[in-house]
Amino acid sequence: FWLHFQVCHDGLTPPSPSACSSHTAFRLFPALPTELRLQIWSHLLQPRIVIAACFDADPTATARKQGQLQHRANLPRCPVLLHISSETRALALSHYSLAFSWRVPAILASPRTSPPRVWFNFTTDTLLLLGELEPYDSSNINAPMVYFLSRADAHRVRNVACAFEELRLGEVESEQIFGCLFHIIDGFPAAERLLITSTDEDLARAKQGRGGMPLEFGLGSRENIVQKIWWGWINGTSVVTSRMRDKQILMVREDGLADLVAE
């Protein structure tokens, strides 16, 4: 098993070339006061979405996970402010940290490790979980992927999301879904809520599995099936804190995730 990181939203890349401004230079910018220049540069500090995907060595599973990533944008991991000038680099380093070293435990396979290689703003960026959330080895031993991550970094994440398809609703028992949710919520204690994201493909599969009945997604939807699963099991658990018991779980469209976090 190993973890792969990919920036799928940086708040800066326009959706199309036509969205770009025709103005490319402001030659008097260096003459502006430092405070004003920094205020202007700070507009490039936009909320980003960083995918953390867990892969295993099975070729079929790996191909499926790679397909998931290919359907999402793959933007530079390094924030643009780190490359412009020493002034912008200093500004960026006051907001971004090189984060998410990881280690696969020995109980799953030969231990694999990686140093931190992803720039992350723990205040505004969102970590989106994809791939094998509960990896199993050939002996049916598992270890949640959230515990592969550096504990110190995971405990600083304020915005965490999980792809709906990885919960495998309709394929596994609700107890397994609860266990997966429990590990995510336990692994990211600074996050006030857990966001479950959906795509058009998710909605189509869910509708087919529900006999043609659509599954509602979005804020304010009356049917939050993931929250219901969480409450149904957590209320029967005695060893749990109120922080975990009362955790809010929101079901949102993935294409609206960035706007929601930026609010």
pLDDT in tens, 137-169: 666 667 889 999 999 999 999 999 999 989 988
pLDDT, mean of residues 166-194: 90
Global pTM reads: 0.87
3-state secondary structure of 25: coil
| pLDDT of 213 strictly over 60 | no
pLDDT, mean of residues 90-115: 88
Specify the pLDDT at position 65. Answer: 78
Tokens, residue 142: 């598992």
Question: What stretch of H or E contains 132?
Answer: none
C-alpha closest to that of 231 among 241, 246, 219: 246
* Lowest-confidence pick of 28-37, 82-91, 134-143, 180-189: 134-143
Specify the pLDDT at position 159. Answer: 97
- For the chain, give the mean pLDDT: 84
Q: Which residue has the higher pLDDT, 200 or 212?
A: 200
Per-residue confidence band for 53, with pLDDT thresholds at 50, 70 and 90: very high
